[in-house]
Every structure is written in C-alpha cells, then in structure tokens.
C-alpha cells in the first residue's frame, strides 16, 4: 500500500494476531471476521474452466429487463466465525444477512445485535471481531452503540461483549472471509438465465451452507 507505511500495516496485523491468541485461551469467546459484499445478478466473475477440444465455453452476461422488479445486486453482511481450540484446531461457520438497500450504520447495528443474540444462545460471552474501516463500521453511531452495548453487558452480566480489531486500509488478505466471497461468486453462476433476487440469495446461502434469514432493512420512519 503506497499511502500507508509497512510499520502501520504490521502493527494492526499484530493486533489481529494477538486477538486470535486471546480467543484461543478463552473457551467462551469466539473469533469473527466480518465483511460486506455485493452479489450481482448480472455481472459474471472471472472463471477458468476446461472444455472439450475444439469447443469454447461461453458465458453470456444477462441484462436487466424493463419488467424485472428486483434490484441488479444484493448487499450482504457476513460473519465468518472460527471456533478455536487450545490445541490449535478450529472449525468455521458463516452467518449471512442480506440487505434491502445498502450497508449503513443502522443496518450494521441490526446485524451486530442479531449476531450477539445468536452467540449468547450458544453460551458465548465475547465476540472478538475483526473488520475493516468502512464508513458504516467506524461511524459515530456504530461506535457509540458498541460502547453502550458493552457497558450494558458488563452491568447486567448478560449478553455478548464485542471486542473490535480494525484491519489496515486495503488489506483484504488479512480477512479470511474475502476468499469465501470470491469462490462463492464463481460457484453460483447461472450461465443461461437470470436469477431473481430471492433465488440468488437462496443459492448463495446453499453454497456457503448457512440459513437464508429474513433480510435486514431500515424501518420507514428511520429511512
């Protein structure tokens, strides 16, 4: 990264690695890598495939019809959870929530509330979360909500506290959920048709082996 010193990147990477080590020593903590992604119904990812000799594999990019009521692309929040054991073994799970709109602070808070509720039901006490510096992550509203949420958890003794670790700017290789997006986009391609928004979301969830939950949205009075 030309605009950021290597020492700055190294420092934030070290903070991420320290957080991972802390999680491993606390059985009621869980490590989460969070990110948002857009899933296009029309744009095709780069693909490489073998074809029979003398034949060419063609993927035709579809276009949006005038009578198509769905959006061209779906925004999605994701959390890659890693359940770490003291013997360094781990297993992973992905949670997704699609968005009727785009990522904003209010939606981010809804997603964090949902994640904390699910983790509390599993007996977890701390979500050690790694994410980037997107504006809807570092906004005053989100930072304030996390502070208030953590104070409430500490005061009541109930809930899941959130420990946040920010990644360096433009460092997707430090977030292991990024390659999940890439591989999923290649696997869900429909070569000869256009998927509806619901069909697309359903296929994504099947590919990443997670439930297709209700989509997040901002209440009309808040939009």
Domain boundaries along the sequence of the chain: 12-40+70-222
To the question of pTM greater than 0.85 for the whole model, the response is no
Q: Which residues pair with 165 in a beta bridge?
A: 130
**In 3-state terms, what secondary structure has residue 167?**
coil
81 close to 92: Cβ distance less than 8 angstroms: yes
What mean pLDDT is predicted for residues 45-52?
A: 52
Q: Write down the pLDDT at residue 42.
A: 81
pLDDT of the residue at 122: 95
158-182 pLDDT per residue, tens:
999 999 999 988 888 889 999 999 9
For 12-40+70-222, which CATH superfamily applies? Answer: Ribonuclease H-like superfamily/Ribonuclease H (3.30.420.10)
CB 115 within 8 A of CB 78: no
Identify the three-state secondary structure at position 150.
helix
Residue 54 has pLDDT above 60, yes or no: no
Q: For residue range 7-48, what is the model confidence (pLDDT) as tens digits? A: 456 656 788 788 888 888 888 999 999 999 999 988 766 655
DSSP assignment of 2-44 equals: TTS-HHHHHHHHHHHHHHHHHHHT-TTEEEEEEEEEEEESSPP
Mark 31-68 as b/e (b = at least 16 C-beta within 10 Å). bbbbbbbbbebeeeeeeeeeeeeeeeeeeeebeeeeee
Structure tokens given for 216: 């997040």
Q: Write the CB contacts of 66 (distance below 8 Å, at least 6 apart in sequence).
A: none
Instruction: Find the mean pLDDT for residues 101-124.
Output: 97
Q: Taking 90 as the threshold, does the pLDDT of residue 58 lie above it?
A: no
């Amino acid at each position: 990264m030309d605009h950021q010193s290597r020492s700055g990147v190294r420092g934030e990477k070290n903070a991420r690695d320290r957080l991972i080590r802390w999680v491993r020593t606390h059985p009621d903590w869980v490590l989460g890598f969070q990110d948002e992604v857009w899933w296009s119904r029309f744009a095709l990812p780069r693909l490489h495939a073998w074809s029979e000799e003398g034949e060419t594999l063609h993927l035709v990019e579809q276009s949006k019809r005038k009578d198509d009521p769905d959006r061209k692309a779906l925004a999605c929040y994701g959390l890659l959870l890693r359940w770490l054991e003291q013997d360094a073994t781990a297993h992973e799970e992905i949670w997704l929530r699609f968005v009727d709109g785009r990522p904003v602070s209010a939606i981010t808070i809804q997603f964090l509330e949902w994640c904390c509720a699910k983790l509390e039901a599993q007996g977890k006490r701390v979500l050690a979360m790694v994410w980037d510096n997107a504006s809807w992550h570092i906004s005053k509203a989100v930072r304030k909500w996390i502070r208030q949420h953590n104070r409430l958890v500490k005061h009541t003794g109930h809930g899941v506290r959130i420990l946040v670790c920010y990644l360096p700017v433009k460092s997707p290789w430090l977030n292991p959920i990024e390659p999940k997006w890439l591989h999923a986009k290649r696997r869900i391609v429909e070569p000869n048709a256009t998927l509806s928004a619901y069909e697309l979301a359903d296929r994504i969830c099947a590919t990443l082996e997670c439930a297709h939950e209700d989509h997040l949205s901002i209440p009309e009075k808040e939009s």
